[in-house]
Chains A and B, each alone.
Chain A
Amino acid sequence: MSPKRKRSLLLGLPLLGFLVVLVVLGSGLGRDPSLLPSVLIDRPLPEFQAQRLDDPEQWLSPADLHGDIALLNIWATWCPTCYQEHTFLNTLRERDIAIYGVNYKDDREAALNWLSQLGDPYRFNIDDPEGQLGIELGVYGAPETFLLDAQGTIRYRHVGALDETVWEREFLPRIRQLEPQS
C-alpha cells in the first residue's frame, strides 16, 4: 500500500468513529432514561376491592371501569404537581373524556374538599388510603395516568402531569387506534 493510500485510510477512521457515535446517539433518542418501564402494559387491571371516595358504602372492582375508553388518574392532595394538573383534567372532562381517579395515600376529607373547590373531573374516585392499589399498579410517582380500553386493559402509562402537549402526543393517537373503525 502506498503511503498516500494509507494516509487516506487513516483519515477515514474519524468518519467511521463518528458514524458509530451517531448510531448510539440515534438509538438513545426514543428512550427516557428517567423512566422505569411498566410491566402492566397490555394487561388487565389488577384485581382490587376498594371503597368509593365519596361513598364509602359502595365497593368498587375492576369491572366498574369497563365500558369506555378511559383514563385512570392517580392523584393526591399532598402532591403539588397534581394541583397543577387538575385544571387540565377539568378541560378533558369538558371534552367528554371519561376519567376515573385513584386518590392515593390521602385523607378522605381533604380530597373531597379539594374536589369541591377545584372542580371534579372524575366519574368516580377509588379511595386508596394505604396505597395498596397504587402498589399493584406500579405507581412510581404521583401524578400518573393510565389509558384503559373499554375492556379495562391498560394500554399506556404516563408518569408526571398531563398537559395539552402530552395529551396530543401520547394519548390521542393511541385513543384513535383503540376506537372501533366506524
Chain B
Amino acid sequence: MIPELGHLALVLAIATSILLVILPLVGASRGNHQLMATARPLAAAQFWLLAVSFGCLVLAFLQNDFSVQLVAEHSNTRLPWYYQITATWGNHEGSLLLWVLTLAGWTWAVALFSQSLPRELVARVLGVMGIISLCFLLFTQMTSNPFVRILPVFPYEGQDLNPLLQDVGMILHPPMLYMGYVGFAVAFAFVVAALIGGKLDSAWARWSRPWTTSAWCFLTLGIALGSWWAYYELGWGGWWFWDPVENASFMPWLLGTALMHSLAATEKRSVFKAWTILLAIATFSLSILGTFLVRSGVLTSVHSFATDPTRGLFLLVIMALLTGSALLLLFLRASSIRSDGRFDPVSRESGLLVNNVLLAAACGVVFVGTLFPLLVDVLDLGKLSVGPPYFNALFAPLTLALMAALGVGPLLRWKTDELYRLRVPLIISAVISITLGFGLTYFLLTPFYWLVALSLTLVFWVICTQIEDIRGRIRNKHHRWQALLNLPRHYQGMVLGHLGLAVTVTGIAMVSFYDIAEDVRLAEDRSTVVAGHEFRMVELYDYQGPNFSATRAVVEVYRDGRQVTVMRPEKRFYWARQMPMTQVALSPGLTRDLYVALGEPLDDGSWAVRVQYKPFIRWIWLGSIIMSIGGFIAISDPRYRLARRRRTATVTGEQHVAKT
C-alpha cells in the first residue's frame, strides 16, 4: 500500500507542477492577480506531496519491502536501519526523487521568503521553477519510477546497499550536493523571470543574491563531504581525482562562485549585466550537465551509476529545453540589457572582473578536460583519457593568480580608486607574506619546493591584506573588539569566505607536496617506519559484522619511543554483493593524518599494507567549512531584507504611476 501511496503522491505532484507552470505564468502575462496568487499555495502543495512520496519510499526501505524493486536491489534485512534510510538515495531512482524533493523545497522557500517582492516577478519565478520541476518529475515518472514492484514473486531478501555507500559521509553528501545543484535553479529562475518580464534593472540581482549564496554554501559543503568520503572510503587516501563525476559538481561550483561575485557588481554598480545573466544560466545548466554526465554513461568514471541511454537522452532534451530557451530569451532581449555603470581600470569592479575571468577560465579548463575524451570518441579519433596532471598543471597557476588578485580586490573602492592610496597596507602585507611564506617553507619543510613557498606566500598575502583592511575599518573606533563584531554581516561573511579559501589552499599545497605513501608488507609483530612514526602490527584477527565478515589488524603507532595511537584497519567482505571492501584506519590531527589501509593478504599470512602520512589534509575541508559559514553569515545580513522592503515600495510606486 505504502509504495502505491508514494507513487500517487508523485503523480499528484506532477499534476500540481503542471498547474504551477500554467496558472502563474498566464496570470503574470495577463496581469490577473488571482491567477498569480495561485503560485504560492501550489508551490507549497508540490513540496508536501513530494515529501509524502519520498517519505513513503524511506518507509518502504525501513520495512524491508522487497516487493519494491528498488528496495530489493539496494537494501537488505541485515543492513543497519540508518543505512536503510540512506539507501533510499544511494541509487539512481531514489536520488532523483530526492533531487525533485529538494527542488520543490527551494521553490517553496522562494514562495515563503518573497512576500515583499513584486507580484508578477514572484509568479514568474515560481512558474519557471515549476517548469524545471515538471521536467524532472516527468523524467522520474517515465524513466526512473522508484516505486516499481516485482510481482507476484518477490525475494525474501534484498541485494544490499553497495558497501562503498554504507558510510556516514554518504548520509549527508548527496542531500548537500543536491541542495547546491538545485539551489542554482533559483538564480536561474530569477534571471529567466526577469528576461520574460523584460525588466532587467539591478533589482533582480539583489533578490537573487541570498539565494545564490545559500546554494553555493550547500554545494561547497557537498563537494567537501564528497572529497572527505573519497579520502577514507575508497581506500587510497586521495582526496580529489579529477574524475568526471567530481568535475561535474566542481564546474557549477566554479561558475557559482563567479556568479556570486558578479551579482555583487551588478547589484551595486549595475555593470556586467549580460555576463551575470549568462553566468546564472550557465551555472544551472552545468548542474544539469553534471546529472547528465553521471547518469547517461557517456563518460567512464570510477564511480558510475548504472547507466541507461534513454535516461541520457531524456536529460539531454531537458537541458536543451531549459538552457536553450533561456539563451534564446537572452538573445532576443539583448538590446534591452544595458550596463550603465562606469568604472576605472583600478576599481572594485575590475577586481571582480579579474575574479570572474579567472574562475570562468578555471571552469573552462575542467570542462575541456572532462569532455575532450567524449569529443575524440565521437569523432572516432580513438579512445583516450585526460589525466590529473592536465588539471593540476592548469589549475595551480589559475588558483595562485586568483589568490594574488584576492589580496587587492576587496581593498579597492567601487568605481575608481588608486593603488597609490593602498601602497602602505599592500607593501606591508607583501613583505610579511613573502618573509613568512618563504621563511616557513625554507626552515620548517624539507625538501624546499618553490611552488609551496609561493602558495604559502599567497596564503599569507590574502590573510595579511584582509587583516589590513579590517584594521583600516576599525582604526578610528574606541572599542575595537566591539567594532570588529559590529562590522556588517556581509563583510564578515566575505572575509571568512576568503580566509576559508586560504586555509583550503594551505591544505592542498601541503598535502600535495609533503604526503608520504608507502606500500609495505606487514605481518604480526613486524613494523615499518613512515615519516618518523613506527607502525607495528600487533594483532590480526577475523570477526563478523552485521552484513559482512572482516579481517582486522591492530597497528600500534610509536613516535620517539612513545605510543601515539592504536589503529585498526579492516578488510571486509560483504556477503550479499560478494564484494570486498577496504576499511581504512585514520588517526586524524590538525597538522597531519596517519592513514593505514589493508591491501591484500599475501601467501605467507602477511598483508600488503598502505601506510600514509598526510600533512594538513584536514585543512582542505576545514577551509571549505569556513567558506560556507562565511556564506551563511553573509546571507543573514539584515541589509537584504531592508533593501527588499525599500525596493518594493519604489516598484509599486512606479506601477502606480504607470497605470494612472
Contact = CB atoms under 8 A, between A and B. Distances in A.
Interface of A: 4, 7-8, 10-12, 14-15, 18-19, 21-22, 24-34, 80, 83-84
B163 to A, nearest CB: 14
Interface in B276-291: 278, 281-282, 285, 289
B135 to A, nearest CB: 16
B586 interface: no
Given A8-B334, A22-B319, A30 B309 contact: yes
Contacts of B320: 22
21 contacts: A7-B335, A8-B334, A10-B334, A11-B337, A15-B328, A15-B330, A18-B285, A18-B323, A24-B371, A25-B292, A25-B298, A28-B298, A28-B374, A28-B378, A29-B309, A29-B312, A29-B316, A33-B298, A33-B373, A80-B578, A83-B578
Nearest to A30: B309
Main secondary structure of the interface of B (DSSP, over half): helix
Contacts of B323: 18
A31 to B, nearest CB: 6
Contacts of B377: 28, 31, 33
Given A10-B334, A31-B377, 14 more contacts: A7-B274, A11-B331, A15-B324, A15-B327, A15-B331, A18-B327, A24-B378, A25-B298, A27-B378, A29-B298, A29-B313, A33-B377, A33-B383, A83-B578
- In the complex, which range does the number of interface residues on chain B fall in? 35 or more
Contacts of B289: 25
A33 B328 CA distance: 32
Contacts of B285: 18
B35 to A, nearest CB: 31
B300 interface: yes
A167 B438 CA distance: 63
Contacts of B278: 11, 14
A72 to B, nearest CB: 25
Contacts of B299: 28, 33
B296 interface: yes
Nearest to A11: B334
B425 interface: no
A26 B282 CA distance: 18
Contacts of A83: 578
A19 B324 CA distance: 8
Given A25-B316, A33-B373, A8 B300 contact: no
A31 B307 CA distance: 11
Given A11-B334, A26-B316, A27-B378, A32 B297 contact: yes
Contacts of B375: 24
A84 B278 CA distance: 49
A32 B328 CA distance: 32
Nearest to B383: A33
A178 to B, nearest CB: 23
B200 to A, nearest CB: 12
A7 B320 CA distance: 23
Leading 6 A-B pairs by shortest Cβ distance: A8-B334, A28-B298, A15-B327, A11-B334, A33-B300, A28-B374
Contacts of A28: 298-299, 374, 377-378
Contacts of A30: 309
Contacts of A19: 324
A24 B328 contact: no
A4 B335 contact: yes
Contacts of A33: 297-300, 373-374, 377, 383
A102 to B, nearest CB: 22
Interface in B76-107: none
Task: Give the residue among A10, A21, A83 with the most B Cβ atoms within 10 A.
Answer: A21
A31 B298 contact: yes
Contacts of A80: 578
